[in-house]
Amino acid sequence: MMSKLKTICWPQVILFGDSITQFSFQVNGWGADIASKLARKCDVVNRGLSGYNSRWAKIVLPRLISSQNSAADCRNIAAVTVFFGANDSSLEDKNPQQHVPLEEYSQNRKEITKLLASAGVSADRVIFITPPPLHEPAWEKECILKGSPLNRHNSVVGQYAQACVQAAGLCGADVLDLWTLMQKDGQDYSVYLSDGLHLSEKGNQFVAQHLWGLLESRVADLPFILPYWGDVDVKSPESSLLCDQ
């Protein structure tokens, strides 16, 4: 009688964030790029929640990554990206529903790290991502189309980006500071944005490239899952395909 086969547990990279994360699996998206690089090594899981801020993220995170899960539940998490701030940094008087005060935003970042740690994801596997810069002329057009005035300022987004960088340092997490990198040397950062806030194709490429630089070391040791087809024993494929990995 054949013994029960051991299920292969694929490691995971979890992308946790707002719409910029949710949209990252679209054609040429940064999440899709990362997933393609990691095919046959781990699952890249999109947990982007359009419109969410860090306050709501902190509340729902335990429903997404539970401390009750174990390695046996296939929850071998190689890395988690935490990408919030574009909504938190909304101006309170123009967009009170999504706005989160700067001090609370910083504290929420720290609490998210603690929640991840309680679920077995240590801080060295966490990558904070700051919001990208905001191109006000383009975003103002979007706001007007929706019948509202400009509800974000790039200078304010920069304060939240700085708070994100500081929180990462205090928590022992890595950080990708998009707000600073996309404006480095006075470059025209509007090319990285599709509507002044969300990423363009070039912006997605920018995020994928820089994020991979931080992710690569965390996934470098992950094995290729199941043998390369050319290595399968043709006469006895079971001996190749049913062996423990």
- 19 catalytically annotated: yes
Contacts of 186 (CB under 8 A, 6+ apart): none
Q: How far apart are CA 82 and CA 28, in angstroms?
A: 20
- Tell me the backbone φ, ψ of residue 14, rounded to 5 degrees: -105, 130
- What is the sign, positive or negative, of the torsion defined by CA atoms of 232, 233, 236, 239? negative
Active-site residue, from 19, 24, 89, 90: 19
The residues near 59 (Cβ < 8 Å, ≥ 6 apart) are none
Q: Could you tell me the two tokens for 14?
A: 């979890």
Query: 26 by DSSP, 3-state: which?
Result: coil
195 is catalytic: yes
CA–CA distance, 40 with 225 (Å, rounded to integer):
5
User: Would you call 210 a catalytic residue per the annotation?
Assistant: no
Q: Which of these is catalytic: 195, 217, 233, 236?
A: 195
Give the catalytic positions in this structure. 19, 195, 198
